[in-house]
Amino acid sequence: MANLTASQDKPQGTQVPKRFAIVLIVGLIALGVCVLVSLAFGSRAMGLKEVLDGLFRPEVDSYSASVVQKRIGRTVFSLLAGGALGVSGALMQAVTRNPIADPSILGVNTGATLFVVGGIAFLNIGSANEYIVLACIGAAITAIFVFGVGSLGRGGATPIKLVLAGAATSAALSSLISAIMIPRAQVMDQLRFWQVGSVGAATWDDIAVFSPFLIVGILIAFVTAPALNALALGDEAATGLGVRTGVLRLVASAAGVVLCGAVTALAGPIGFVGLLATHLVRLLIGPDQRYLIPMSALAGAVVLTVSDVIGRILGSPGELEVGIVTAFVGAPILILLAMRSKVRSL
């Protein structure tokens, strides 16, 4: 009884996680630094002064000013896309109650890509809006399929079953993508970034089309966060707390699918960002979704932008697609999670 009153006095839910303020500040500083770095590096590296001059006093050196201007679009897009992927990863993990859910591991990215590539090849689509719609449909179908296969049998959707279903589906879909692309070798160059994601080709128009999807997805994520906390206790407990688990799962996973579908439509399949971002954040501030989701957005933005910069440095004079970098940086998290987990939970 005493316990009960105590918890009513100070409901656990309202507690701000330890270190949240510090982590937030550090995260924002990191974000600022990576914006500057992203503006500075590329086939022509610039000093901080040049970047700042280019940004605020374009009259000093019109050439660096134009380079910086060019890079602004790319940087903004990679921040937004990274944020979307971070939130998408967090939502998928919460909905499946599974620490290794991530759009790329579940094959959702590949499904979105297949639909876009198929749309370009057979339906002659060409606008960003159409890309996004098709990508979302592809992502949704793949998500449903993978989750369906992964949750068959005893124990429901265990991590190992989901990962295997995702990897198998992803392999099947990428073979189909190759089969669609090879006969169209002449347009291969335009299509190529569909195999490995890249943020380099995004334009301001793309960003304008992308933003509404991003905003809707993130709003849904914020609204459902408290209910997702309840879901973490298990379906029965969540129902007991007044959560309609079916509706919640549907809404939250729809948001996750739209976020990752929209990114994939414009940037191709970028893997492991969600996994990396959410686990980094969970390690720092714990599992409360109301803090985890926004911080995952921040972390995702930082991870993707930094990866893009690394890709530009490693790939110079050209550039390395960001999807390659994120796979290399993010896949170890999967290995780590596999090493840490108990045999039973696999």
Partner 1 sequence: MNNLTTNNTIAYIMAGRRQRSRRYWGVTTVLAVISLLLCFLMLYFGNTIYSIDKIARVLGGEQIKGATFAIHTIRLPRMLAGLFAGFAFGVAGHIFQTMLRNPLANPNVLGITTGSSAAAVYCIVILHTSEAVVSVVSVAAGLVTVTLLYLLSRRRAFSIGRLILVGIGLDAMLSSVITYLLQKSASQDVPAAFRWLSGSLNGSKLEELPPLVITVLVLAPIILLLGKHLSLLELGEQSASSLGIHTDRTRIALILCSVCMIAMATATTGPIAFVSFLAGPIARRLVGVGHTNIIPAGLVGVILVLAADLIGQFAFETRFPVGVITGILGAPYLIFLLIRMNRKGDF
- Token pair of 283 as six digits: 């390690």
User: What's the start-to-end Cα distance of the chain, in Å?
Assistant: 38
Q: Rounded to whole angstroms, how far apart are CA atoms 253 and 224?
A: 11
Q: Which residues have C-beta within 8 Å of that of residue 214, sequence separation ≥ 6?
A: 80, 83, 84, 259, 262
Q: How does DSSP classify residue 119? A: I
Of the pair 135, 325, the CB lying nearest partner 1 is at 325
Q: What is the DSSP letter of 287?
A: S
| H-assigned helices in the chain | 2-9, 20-40, 48-56, 62-96, 108-118, 128-150, 159-181, 188-191, 204-231, 235-240, 245-267, 273-285, 289-314, 322-340
How many helices (H) and strands (E) in the chain? 14, 0
C-alpha span between 270 and 227 (Å, rounded): 28
Q: At residue 277, what is the residue type?
A: A
Minimum CB distance to partner 1, residue 151 (Å): 8
Q: Which is nearer to partner 1, 209 or 322 (CB)?
A: 322
Nearer to partner 1, 76 or 176 (CB): 176
Which lies closer to partner 1 via its Cβ, residue 93 or residue 229? 93
Q: Least distance (Å) from partner 1 to the CB of residue 97?
A: 17
Give me the residues that bind partner 1 (CB under 8 A), please.
Answer: 100, 149-150, 152-155, 158-161, 163-165, 167-169, 171-176, 178-179, 182-183, 185, 188, 196, 271-272, 314-315, 318, 320-321, 323-325, 327-328, 330-332, 334-335, 337-339, 341, 343, 346
Contact yes or no for 46/54 (Cβ under 8 A): yes
User: What one-character DSSP code corresponds to residue 16?
Assistant: P
In terms of CB distance, is 71 or 161 closer to partner 1?
A: 161
Cβ closer to partner 1: 194 or 272? Answer: 272
- Integer Cα distance of 165 and 153 in angstroms: 13
Cα 2 versus chain centre, distance = 43
Query: Residue 149 CB, nearest distance to partner 1 (Å)?
Result: 6
Shortest Cβ 181–partner 1 spacing (Å) = 9
Residue 48, class by beta-carbon neighbours within 10 Å (0-12 exposed, 13-18 middle, 19+ buried)?
exposed
Q: Which is nearer to partner 1, 242 or 340 (CB)?
A: 340
Q: How far is the CB of 146 from partner 1 (least distance, A)?
A: 9
Question: CB of residue 92 vs partner 1: minimum separation in angstroms?
Answer: 17
* CA 103/CA 89 separation, integer angstroms: 6
CB of 78 to partner 1, least distance (A): 18
CB of 238 to partner 1, least distance (A): 25
Nearer to partner 1, 47 or 332 (CB): 332
Cis peptide before 226 (omega within 30 of 0): no
